[in-house]
Structure 1
């Protein structure tokens, strides 16, 4: 007997279910799991698949350990700083750096490069391994993402102070949002570059009933990559927008000194990151369904494992 392991203990067809699942996968406590914990989790899951164990809190805990630690394609642990469970903590330093008020040109360049370096590392560690990027493609993606973020950040930093028809307060707020514009533009560029092979070659689509692969589709790839790019914007928005705007209000009300300003900035970013991340990650389902009629003409006669024509197929959107 080989039972299929449920994707989640939560209902992933609902937004709230996806939020709860994302909170599970990004739980920073999973950084404390040991190699023995992973081995035990694998044994528990294997027993369930063989019919030797039923669904239980222990099974869901084991699945949580594996989902937050193991790469689904390779079966090997993802390098610890680049796991989703480390996402908030790994990004905390560079986010605080980018959102530090009064950065000069050198500081802006340094933190934008640091942020894109971390993004490329996370993307590479968690990427779908069916279309691995060559070293040249990876270097090109990194260089273009860094160029995009630095160009936007430096360009807007030069433009905002010259805005004469807006108040000083508005210029202050716009200046604090420059890192957001830089991160979003570079993030979108990065997604399309890092996943360009998927768009060119297509991604696997599956029979919803049996889970069997029934073809590869470039249309599905466009949906997957496009939604991922949008999700990057959504993920960045609360973390890069709320803390700087709240910090402006705090400064106006309490006239914070440098140390207090740094502590407030750190606290706001940390609290917003932990609170907002699951809600942002849950916007789009990881497993997407698309009508066969919307795929390429060559795929419109797809049939399932039972030989019946398929009305829909599913695909993995990726992260």
Structure 2
């Protein structure tokens, strides 16, 4: 990210107002822009130089060229290492990297073997993306990583196989209702595994707490376990919201189309890919923008030692902020 470039001057976090939902949607659209996959090493170095000039005061104001340079670095460079994230695991590659796996999971009538294969493949991709983009100052141990992976795989496979065997037994429902429920099984599996994965990978934050800062001055005020619960809970919720449009809308639309139009298998596959791809590009920024990255919260919702904090001026601190994480 652009934050990895050294200099005494801070960069604006975004050219959009991240305190508003629409501002976060536009920011998310930029972060996940697949055109950023076309940047070359020379583009990255040129962007570094421009950002360095701004952060060291040689360029006074943000310009369209500087915003583009920031976008290049934010979508390519890891903020801790300062090195490019491996291409398939960048946020700008999120839609394309997940396309094959999502199409596989949403393929009708997979059977048990196919269901297990695609759920395991999906969790393997998730681990690779999480590892490539993780906070390098507090890396997971190999044991934590392996535990998180196997728990997520167990959750997703158990839910998928269990629901696939349960839905046909719901004789009180109409055949169409059972068909719709069957197409939503991958969504339930992905969501349950995603929530399990978040709480496992960030369990240390809940146990030890995360740093909170004065909402106005940015001064660090201490560590809060309650803030960690909010941060991890919102992140888990965001995983559900991110998965919902991609895993729910395409299968439901495909069911409706199949009732009206007879399709061969190749046509059905092409339609399925088109629905997933278009839904991912259009809806993903709206899901990603649900929660702000830096969350503000009233001190009364945290531990009691934050309730009566004051600034040097004697003014009471009413709100604090924390980094929600990914």
Give the TM bin, normalised by the shorter chain.
over 0.9
Aligned to 2:192: 185
Structure 2 match to 1:125? 132
Structural mapping, 1:1-319, within 5 Å: 2-53=8-59, 54-304=61-311, 308-319=315-326
Question: CA separation in 2, counterparts of 1:278 and 1:131?
Answer: 28
Question: How much does 1:212 deviate?
Answer: 3.4
Q: CA RMSD in A?
A: 1.6
Greater shift, 156-165 or 123-132, is seen at: 123-132
1:219-258 per-residue CA deviation (whole Å, 9 max, x = no partner) reads 1111111001001111111100111111111111111010
Report if the CA contact (8 A) 1:214-1:304 is conserved: no
Is contact 1:131–1:198 with CA below 8 Å preserved after alignment? Answer: no
Distance 1:256 1:46 in 2: 55
Matched residues in 1 for 2:216 and 2:50: separation?
Answer: 25
Q: Contact between 1:128 and 1:318, CA under 8 Å: does it hold in 2?
A: no
SS in structure 2 at match of 1:216: strand
The 3 A distance-change label for structure 1 pair 99 and 17 is same
Q: How far 1:213 moved relative to its partner?
A: 2.5
Counterpart secondary structure, 2:192: helix
Q: State the alpha-carbon separation in 1 of the partners of residues 49 and 263 from structure 2.
A: 53
Cα distance in 2 for partners of 1:207, 1:45 equals: 27
Post-superposition Cα deviations, 1:22-52, rounded to whole Å, max 9, x if no partner, equal 0000001111112222222122112212222
Alpha-carbon shift at residue 301 of structure 1 (Å): 4.3
Question: C-alpha deviations, 1:43-77, integer Å up to 9, x for none?
Answer: 21122122221110011001111111122233222
Structure 1 residues 45 and 303: CA distance shift in structure 2, 3 A? farther
1:255-285 Cα deviation digits (max 9, x unpaired): 1010000000000000000011100000000
Distance in 1, matches of 2:312 and 2:110, equals 59
How far does residue 306 in structure 1 lie from its aligned partner after superposition? Answer: 6.1
What's the TM-score, normalizing by structure 2? 0.94
Q: Deviations over 1:80-101 (max 9, x none)?
A: 1111101000100100000000
The number of equivalent residue pairs is 319
- Residues 141 and 190 in structure 1, CA contact (< 8 A), matched pair in contact too: yes
* Partner SS state of residue 171, structure 2: coil
Paired residues of 1:202 and 1:221 also in contact (CA < 8 A):
yes
Secondary structure of 2:153's counterpart equals helix
